[in-house]
């Protein structure tokens, strides 16, 4: 069974692959943009999670 | 009747007609099968990656017991969800045909599954439009 974190990781990975291929032309730029999107998705989720944790307290 | 002098012009016109229909064909193929438009343009690696990413998202959504929307519920949010899921093309039709997914969300993770399926549809539309742009030369390569 997927945890919420692993579901988010799969979501971010698939989203990054599609964005990288469709938004950039060169393979090297695709890899960089895909890694950027993935880091932004995962990092943004972790930051938002901690924000919600402190808002609740 | 074709004469030897205008034969090259006719061939050129035929070529132009073929190339003008290619973008539309790529758009439709990309919508029906994720990555299909890129396969038509002989970009198999991109097509395979798009296929794996979009079908993977759809499969995870089904595995999480996501909801498959119907077109005629009358609820605005259901209609928007239906439009998003329709973007997956044949996958949506298969889901309807084989009764995959749920008619309504029953567990908390099922809501995540529904979002996975909707986003898979929207990403497939983006991928199909990318294939269209590649075919008509709007995108370089």
DSSP state of B49: H
Q: Say yes or no for a CB contact (<8 Å) between B57 and A7.
A: no
Q: Say yes or no for a CB contact (<8 Å) between A15 and B123.
A: yes
Q: What is the largest CA-CA distance in chain A?
A: 46
> Which residues in chain B have their CB less than 8 angstroms from residue A45's CB?
none
For residue B140, the model assigns a pLDDT of 84
CB A20 within 8 A of CB A34: yes
User: pTM for the full model?
Assistant: 0.87
Query: Long-range contacts made by residues B69-74, C-beta under 8 angstroms, separation at least 24?
Result: none
Mean of the per-residue pLDDT values of chain A: 95
Q: Say yes or no for a CB contact (<8 Å) between B127 and A22.
A: yes
Q: What is the interface pTM, i.e. ipTM, of the complex?
A: 0.91
Q: Say yes or no for a CB contact (<8 Å) between B50 and A11.
A: no
For residue B7, the model assigns a pLDDT of 57
pLDDT in tens, chain B (141 residues): 444 555 555 554 455 445 689 999 999 999 999 999 999 999 999 999 999 999 999 999 999 999 999 988 888 999 999 999 999 999 999 999 999 988 787 787 788 999 999 999 999 999 999 999 999 999 887
For residue B6, the model assigns a pLDDT of 56
**Which positions in chain B have a beta carbon within 8 angstroms of at least one beta carbon in chain A?**
38, 46, 49-50, 52-54, 56-57, 60, 63-64, 109, 112, 116, 119-120, 123, 126-127, 129-130, 139-141
Residue B117 CA to residue A19 CA, distance in Å, equals 17
Is A34's pLDDT higher than 90?
A: yes
The angle at the Cα of B74, spanning B68 to B75, to the nearest 5 degrees, equals: 70
Q: What is the torsion angle, in degrees rounded to the nearest 10, for the CA atoms of residue B54, residue B57, residue B58 and residue B62? A: 170
For residue B13, the model assigns a pLDDT of 47
**What's the average model confidence in pLDDT over A28-56?**
96
For residue A32, the model assigns a pLDDT of 97
A10: closest chain B residue by CA: B57
Selecting from B109, B127, B140 the residue whose C-beta is nearest the C-beta of A25 gives B140
The angle at the Cα of A11, spanning A45 to A39, to the nearest 5 degrees, equals: 50
Indicate which of B49, B116, B137 best probes the interface with A, i.e. most A CBs within 10 Å of its own CB.
B49
**What's the average model confidence in pLDDT over A29-48?**
97
């Amino acid at each position: 069974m997927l945890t919420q974190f692993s579901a988010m990781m799969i979501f971010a990975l698939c989203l990054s692959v599609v964005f990288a291929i469709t938004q950039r032309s060169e393979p090297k730029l695709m890899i960089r943009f895909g890694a950027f999107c993935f880091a932004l998705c995962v990092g943004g989720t972790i930051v938002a999670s901690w924000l919600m944790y402190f808002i609740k307290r | 009747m074709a004469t030897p002098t205008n034969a090259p012009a006719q061939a050129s016109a035929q070529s132009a007609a073929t190339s003008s229909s290619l973008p539309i064909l790529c758009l439709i193929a990309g919508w029906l099968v994720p990555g299909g438009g890129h396969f038509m343009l002989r970009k198999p690696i991109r097509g395979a990656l798009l296929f794996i990413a979009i079908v993977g998202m759809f499969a995870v959504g089904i595995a999480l017991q996501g909801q498959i929307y119907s077109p005629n519920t009358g609820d605005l949010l259901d209609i928007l969800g239906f439009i998003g899921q329709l973007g997956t093309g044949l996958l949506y039709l298969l889901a309807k045909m084989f009764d995959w997914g749920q008619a309504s969300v029953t567990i908390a993770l099922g809501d995540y599954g529904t979002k996975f399926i909707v986003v898979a549809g929207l990403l497939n539309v983006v991928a199909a439009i990318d294939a269209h742009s590649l075919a008509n030369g709007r995108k370089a390569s």
